A and B are shown apart, each in its own frame.
Chain A
Amino acid sequence: MEALQRQPVQRWVAQCDGCIRVHDEAMIRVWMNLILLAVVLSGLSGAWGLLSTGRHAWGQWVASACMALAGVLGVGAGLAALAGNKTLVIQYPGVLPGIAMHLKLDALAAFFLVLIFVVGAAASIYGLGYWPQARRRRTAQKLQFVYGLMIAAMAMVTLAADAVVFLTAWEVMVVAGFFLISTEDERADTRQAGWVYLVATHVGTLSLFGVFALMHAATHSYMLAAIPPADGAVVRLCIFLLALLGFGIKAGLMPLHFWLPGAHGNAPSHVSATLSGVLLKMGIYGLLRILMCLPQPPAAWGVVVLSLGAMSAVFGVAFALGQHDLKRLLAYHSIENIGIILMGLGVALIGVAEGHPMWVLFGMAGCLLHVWNHGLFKSLLFLGAGSVISATGSRKIDALGGLARLMPWTAALFLLGAWAICGLPPLNGFISELLVYIGALVPATHAGAGGWAAVSLAAVALAVAGALALACFVKVYGAVFLGMPRSKQALRTREVSLAMRVPMVVLAVMCLVIGLFPMVVLTPLEHAVGVWAWPMGGSKRLATAVPWRELSIAGLALVTGAGLIWLLMRRSSSLRLRRAEPTWGCGYVQGTARMQYTASSLAQMLVAMLRWVLLPVQQGGAPAGIFAGRASFHSDVPDLVTDRLLFRFWRWLQLRLRPMRRVHQGSIQRYLLYILLVLFVLLLTLVPVWTIVRHMLAP
């Protein structure tokens, strides 16, 4: 990459508004170069570690230092480019014979770049404590190398301006993801999760090839450029559906989410944080970019995206409720949040189709801000879960408990993340969900919206998802951090190291800042929305549409009030909660670890209410008889798509294809013979047998 930059390159600056100032042009070029430098740094960050013997940890320190530096560079340059709101396209001719390489930096790309580099750096530093090279040796070396590669590839995906760069970076990103997920490949479920991911993601890549082929057919160029509206509606519909499939699989849209819980559950936690916080967003980014190439979308597309988003949001959190595995639960919450993001996008698409700038503004602002926010608090939660796992060695919620006293930092930070993901004020999740709410409710209050007032039903779905998320995190936090330890591991727990706490604190502070001072993100948001919705013209009304200052003051008051109450309760003994037992407690006064609510029992009522979709599996039950013997109870919520549909289908297919096993002999000679026969048949098709026969028959 560095060599490329030295080449004489053609550059030009394009700007939607018109006027180009020399100063801005020079600045955005600087930002672009800094971001490219960050890409190179992160891409090579793990390479040094490969050279070390594995016993020494310096490779890991170098990798994390490189990622941190790349993070600083990338975030700084990204924010600057976001504030500058200019567009720069760079062309590198002749990288591949006959094909030029195009990179483009605009506010939308910068918006995603900031997230990539923040989470990339934070999780890498966390890895120092969570996956130390001294203990993990070879897997740590491999992990660092592939991790840096994935971060660099994700950044290149956001910078790509043509199909070749996009697909190349996409494929590198996806394959790196596979290696990261299968880090602990000695475990069978990790291997299976890796394979499911690989198959799913390549189905997605295949449909992306379809998208770009169709776009090339329409525009006669590999650039990601707008397709002239005159072109056939059928082609554009095909592009939209293929993009929804390809990027939907990556983002974890509800029926296409099947690879996600296993993959995110089985990867090392800081990798899960990056996968969930950033990699899923690449699907959203791709969808946004492709939609930018399809001007004048029909409103039906918006309705499709909105309903799929609402479905993901509600059912994602519903499945999360039934999980017993901490990381699988968080993975299902990612599906929920992707749903919320897509609901924002759906509202914006309907707005574009119907020509209402306000719908676009709020829908899109909610969508984009939630991309950032989910990236922040979900990585925070995954890192928190990682701390719990590294301290106790268990992912099972029912084996934990009472960790708040033993790990106060982790407990506090996890609580903050949980607060944010539930969309409660005054944290960042509330701000973005507020924007999506407004986006969904604006059509109802809008005169002349007509039947589109029905869009407001999305707000109901969002509210249901929010309530269920709250219930779910009450369950998680209650079972993991409160109560009494349920196992010996949970008893022998210590707070995690500084290297693991610092990245969590950084992410938590970002959640707090966005939540308490939402004004700081309004300008970047407006710029990014403006890039996406360029046909709608500039949109500068975000700052005045919501009373942000009052919101901020209320949030600050809430935090200060809560802090004061906490201090008072600590100080004065009179206000401290006192334990009071009823006189005739009948032995129930002093609960033991076995008598407290388990995760399943906390969620039992809601799971029973949602039985029609969750289809929970239960074994055992209440003990029977007067002298009741031992009894056991176990409940599980298998995934609807993976366990109930796909695996069954695969087993069926395997059974049906058993006769094909006979062809699969394992003999080199025979395989080569197959190749020879195919070659022979292909060559024979060139022989005009029929003509020869006719000639021979003719007298």
Chain B
Amino acid sequence: MTGTINSLLVVVLLVNLFMLGASRMRALIHAAASQGVILSFMPLLLAARLDWIAVVVAGVTIGLKGLIIPRILHKALRDAKIKREVEPLIGFLPTMLLGALGTVLSLVLAACLPVVGHPVSNLVIPVSLSTILTGFLLLTTRVKAITQVIGYLILENGIYIFGMLLLAAVPFLVELGILLDLFVGIFVVSIIIHHINQTFSSMDTRQLTALRE
């Protein structure tokens, strides 16, 4: 069991690095979706016995993160006629290197964190921290509004992994609540993207600096 989880977590790490290096928008969306799907399976593997709530939650998560949210993003991409390339503020290779550095640091940090009890896998905390950092890197180094959305999505994935530690303590209801928030957030943002694009014919978040005092 631990072996499967560990290998899944390693896959998540690899997806993180892939996303930092991805230059195509479509690839980025697919990567985020697949990461979400992988993560959705984990509670099923961790649960002592399969009860129907766990199955329902996993199903809903897969449906949202694997199907609906990617679809919304693709649609926004199409409707807003956004150029299919990711526009980075700093190059792809430097971001990947930063991501790798972040992963190493996460491993160091995870060793130093005072954790109560035994986590299912030693990789849970480092992968979670690394995913959060990846989300932040995407948020800070990419220009387009839609990459910002994906950045938040990855950030949430990281928090989701962290929640795996507390699986016994955090009820599924809370998970569902977070998921709903995320879904509504992305739904709203994609609508906003569409409207902003129609009004200003630009999707560059750098233009938002015009709003400062």
Contact = CB atoms under 8 A, between A and B. Distances in A.
Contact of A675 (B113, B136, B206, B209): B136
A669 B136 contact: no
A135 to B, nearest CB: 33
A445 interface: no
B205 interface: yes
* Majority secondary structure of chain A interface residues (helix, strand, loop or mixed): helix
B7 interface: no
Contacts of B208: 666-668
Given A664-B212, A666-B211, A667-B208, A672 B140 contact: yes
Interface in A647-681: 664-670, 672-673, 675-676, 679
Interface residues of B, number: 23
Given A687-B108, A688-B112, A669 B89 contact: yes
Interface in B75-96: 89
A691 B148 CA distance: 39
B139 interface: yes
Nearest to A661: B213
A444 B102 CA distance: 77
A683 interface: yes
Contacts of B6: none
Interface residues of A, number: 17
B109 A687 contact: yes
A234 interface: no
B209 A673 contact: no
A667 B211 CA distance: 9
A628 interface: no
B197 interface: no
A686 B205 contact: no
A666 B148 CA distance: 16
Contacts of A687: 108-109, 112
A665 B212 contact: yes
B205 to A, nearest CB: 5
Given A673-B140, A676-B140, A668 B205 contact: yes
Contacts of A672: 136, 139-140
A139 to B, nearest CB: 26
* Majority secondary structure of chain B interface residues (helix, strand, loop or mixed): helix
B135 to A, nearest CB: 10
A680 B141 CA distance: 16
A692 to B, nearest CB: 9
Nearest to B132: A679
Interface string B26-62: 0000000000000000000000000000000000000
A665 B112 contact: no
A655 to B, nearest CB: 16
Nearest to A675: B136
B88 to A, nearest CB: 11
Interface in B99-158: 108-109, 112-113, 129, 133, 136-137, 139-143, 148
Contacts of A676: 133, 136-137, 140
A666 B212 contact: yes
A471 to B, nearest CB: 46
B141 A686 contact: no
A121 to B, nearest CB: 40
Contacts of A673: 140
A517 B133 CA distance: 74
A669 B109 contact: no
B212 A669 contact: no
Nearest to B152: A672
A460 to B, nearest CB: 51
Contacts of B210: 666
Contacts of B212: 664-666
Interface-central residue, B139, B148, B208, B211, by most chain A CB under 10 Å: B139
A665 B209 contact: yes
Contacts of B109: 683-684, 686-687
Contacts of B209: 665-667
A679 B210 CA distance: 27
A540 B32 CA distance: 77
A664 B209 CA distance: 10
B206 A667 contact: yes
Nearest to B210: A666
A679 B140 CA distance: 14
B82 to A, nearest CB: 17
Contacts of B143: 669
Nearest to B155: A672
A670 B213 CA distance: 16
A667 B205 CA distance: 8
A669 B205 CA distance: 8
Contacts of A665: 209, 212
A686 B113 contact: yes
Interface in A331-352: none
Contacts of B89: 669
Nearest to B209: A666
Contacts of B108: 687
Contacts of A669: 89, 139-143, 205-206
Interface in A169-199: none
Given A673-B140, A675-B136, A668 B112 contact: no
Given A666-B209, A666-B211, 19 more contacts: A664-B213, A665-B212, A666-B213, A668-B139, A669-B140, A669-B143, A669-B205, A672-B136, A672-B139, A672-B140, A673-B140, A676-B133, A676-B136, A676-B137, A683-B109, A686-B112, A686-B113, A687-B108, A687-B112
23 contacts: A664-B213, A665-B209, A666-B209, A666-B211, A666-B213, A667-B205, A667-B208, A667-B209, A668-B148, A669-B89, A669-B139, A669-B142, A670-B140, A672-B136, A672-B139, A672-B140, A676-B136, A679-B136, A683-B129, A686-B112, A687-B108, A687-B112, A688-B112
